[in-house]
Amino acid sequence: MTERQLAFETLQIHAGTAADPATGARQVPIYQTTAYVFRDADHAAKLFNLQEIGYIYSRLTNPTVSALANRVCALEGGAGAICCSSGHAAQIMALFPLMGPGKNIIASTRLYGGTMTQFSQTIKRFGWSAKFVDFDDLAALEAAVDDDTRAIFCESIANPGGYITDLDAVAGVADKVGLPLIVDNTSATPYLCRPIEHGATLVVHSATKYLTGNGTVTGGIVVDSGKFDWSKSGKFPSLSEPEPAYHGLAFHPALGAMAFTFHSIAVGLRDLGMTMNPQGAHYTLMGIETLSLRMDRHVENARKVAEWLEKDPRIDYVTYAGLPSSPYHHRVARICPKGAGALFTFAVKGGYDACVKLIDNVKLFSHVANLGDTRSLIIHSASTTHRQLTEEQQIKAGAAPNVVRVSIGIEHADDIIADLDQALAAATA
Ligand SMILES: *Cc1c(COP(=O)(O)O)cnc(C)c1O
């Protein structure tokens, strides 16, 4: 008998967890411990040799954190996953085994503002660099790849403005040039989009956002599809050749589909230490239990708010891919069939000044640098998250000075619309 394939709604509650073997506790306990007692000297040696899987020290693995990694891995359809201290840590952890001094990545121009800064500035300190390309221009994407390129990076539903990446097409280019595709699936979540099914090698998340869902945690996750052949091109020696940082273990030859995951724990978490804490993992596990219910409501509200805004004479345009007027609307059914997310931008007539007034007059919306909360959130990207960029970069990133970004929550849609209505009245008076 073949095992019945459980639905997403069931997996979000059960995957990666069972009743606690020690106590029978039904909910995943918070294992608030740093270290784990070895049975004997031989057991300890086997754990350190990766000959037996078990817990050593919570910088590497912890039962609560592992439960979360296994659950998100199941929801994304991956082979293995690693939890990290933040979404930004997850991005570094995803790149770490692939990169080296002098190596580069090709990244989409449409990214979260913080990722733009991480990739355009901070990674240079490691000798890494990024080339930014419009991922709708597949020829330009392919042309940007050189001998030192080690990965292609994009977001599924991209920040800040209602853009959907054609993952199948981008994965086609990645395949052709023999490189891994890394997809940041934060804004979509695995409920709306499953990047591995579209050819992604690695999926990264900021668990800070929809996965936890209520703005209580900073966390990140990397999921590996287990499908990339790290040995074929000779470009990924940390994975394909004896790793000097782990007494000469050749991870891919020895561990196959689990090579990336084990390298990320045994070398990445061990030496970079970007570990998620068990308390944070517990909150995220709680959040994920209701992910599908929340995302359905986020999407329904976002569509109603976007439709209302689009008809309003005070608004220039709305960039929500769920609207038929969006140039990316035709990608929704294929890339994120359950909806285009709840993150979009709109341009206010009256430009920068009207945007600032709008932000200062909202009452229900919170003016915060966050997204993916149960609460509706608003921010003027050009004066905050995208402030470090030039105006040209801001426009390219969908964060022009006359644009505000909203993350639509799960309140009643009528209340969300009423708040925007009164704030727009004050802003354009
Ligand atoms: C928030 C966010 C990040 C960074 O995550 P942190 O948890 O804040 O470090 C990366 N990518 C996207 C799309 C995000 O929304």
Q: What is the mean pLDDT of residues 121-138?
A: 97
The predicted-structure confidence for 259-307, as pLDDT tens digits, reads as follows: 999 999 999 999 999 999 999 999 999 999 999 999 999 999 999 999 9
Nearest to 403 by CA among 309, 306, 304, 319: 319
Residue 119's pLDDT band (cuts 50, 70, 90):
very high
Closest protein CA for atom 5 of ligand 1: 87
Q: What's residue 268's pLDDT?
A: 96
Q: What is the mean pLDDT of residues 65-71?
A: 98
The two tokens of residue 44 are: 């300890």
Residues 424 and 358 sit within 8 Å (Cβ to Cβ) = yes
Count the Cβ atoms, other than its own, within 10 Å of residue 378.
21
Counting residues of the chain whose pLDDT is more than 90, the rounded percentage is: 85
Q: What's residue 49's pLDDT?
A: 85
Least confident piece of the model among 134-148, 151-165, 184-198, 320-334: 151-165
Domain spanning 291-427: which superfamily? Aspartate Aminotransferase, domain 1 (3.90.1150.10)
Check if 209 has its Cβ closer than 6 Å to any atom of ligand 1. Answer: yes
* Closest ligand 1 atom, residue 207 Cα: 7
The two tokens of residue 333 are: 């059914």
Check if 218 has its Cβ closer than 6 Å to any atom of ligand 1. Answer: yes
Q: What is the mean pLDDT of residues 215-227?
A: 97
Q: What's residue 397's pLDDT?
A: 72
Q: What's residue 106's pLDDT?
A: 98
Tell me whether strands 343-348 and 80-84 are parallel, antiparallel or unpaired.
Answer: unpaired
The predicted-structure confidence for 375-418, as pLDDT tens digits, reads as follows: 999 999 888 877 877 888 788 777 899 999 999 999 999 999 99
* Closest ligand 1 atom, residue 186 Cα: 13
pLDDT at 321 exceeding the cut of 90: yes
Ligand 1 pocket mutation pick from 72, 83, 88 by most atoms within 8 angstroms of CB? 88
Q: What's residue 225's pLDDT?
A: 98
Residue 2's pLDDT band (cuts 50, 70, 90):
low
Check if 87 has its Cβ closer than 6 Å to any atom of ligand 1. Answer: yes
Check if 206 has its Cβ closer than 6 Å to any atom of ligand 1. Answer: yes
Residues 330 and 286 sit within 8 Å (Cβ to Cβ) = no
Question: Where are the domain boundaries for CATH 3.40.640.10 in the chain?
Answer: 3-287
3-287: CATH class: alpha beta
Q: What's residue 369's pLDDT?
A: 87
Q: What's residue 242's pLDDT?
A: 95
Mean pLDDT of the chain: 95
Tell me whether strands 163-164 and 157-158 are parallel, antiparallel or unpaired.
Answer: antiparallel
Check if 186 has its Cβ closer than 6 Å to any atom of ligand 1. Answer: yes
Residues whose CB is less than 8 angstroms from the CB of residue 217 and which lie 6 or more positions away in sequence, other chains included: 207, 208, 280, 283, 284, 287
The predicted-structure confidence for 179-202, as pLDDT tens digits, reads as follows: 999 999 999 999 999 999 999 999
Check if 11 has its Cβ closer than 6 Å to any atom of ligand 1. Answer: no
Beta bridge partners of 243: 249
pLDDT at 1 exceeding the cut of 60: no
The predicted-structure confidence for 19-43, as pLDDT tens digits, reads as follows: 998 899 999 999 999 999 999 999 9
Residues 234 and 240 sit within 8 Å (Cβ to Cβ) = yes
Closest protein CA for atom 6 of ligand 1: 87
Check if 88 has its Cβ closer than 6 Å to any atom of ligand 1. Answer: yes
Calpha distance 205→211 (Å, rounded) = 9
Output the CA 115–ligand 1 centroid distance in Å: 7
Q: What is the mean pLDDT of residues 98-112?
A: 96
Q: What's residue 247's pLDDT?
A: 85
pTM for this model (two decimals):
0.96
pLDDT at 6 exceeding the cut of 60: yes
Q: What's residue 60's pLDDT?
A: 94
Tell me whether strands 129-133 and 315-318 are parallel, antiparallel or unpaired.
Answer: unpaired
Check if 155 has its Cβ closer than 6 Å to any atom of ligand 1. Answer: yes
Check if 17 has its Cβ closer than 6 Å to any atom of ligand 1. Answer: no
Residue 159's pLDDT band (cuts 50, 70, 90):
confident
Nearest to 388 by CA among 378, 377, 399: 399
Strands of 202-206's sheet in order across:
80-84, 220-224, 202-206, 181-184, 149-155, 104-108, 129-133
Question: Where are the domain boundaries for CATH 3.90.1150.10 in the chain?
Answer: 291-427
Check if 159 has its Cβ closer than 6 Å to any atom of ligand 1. Answer: yes
Name the phi and psi angles at 159, rounded to 5: -70, 150
Nearest to 229 by CA among 243, 219, 239: 239
Give how far Cα 246 sits from Cα of 87, 117, 234, Å. Answer: 26, 31, 19
pLDDT at 319 exceeding the cut of 60: yes
Q: What's residue 416's pLDDT?
A: 98
Residue 51, classified by CB atoms within 10 Å of its CB into exposed (0-12), middle (13-18) or buried (19+), is: exposed
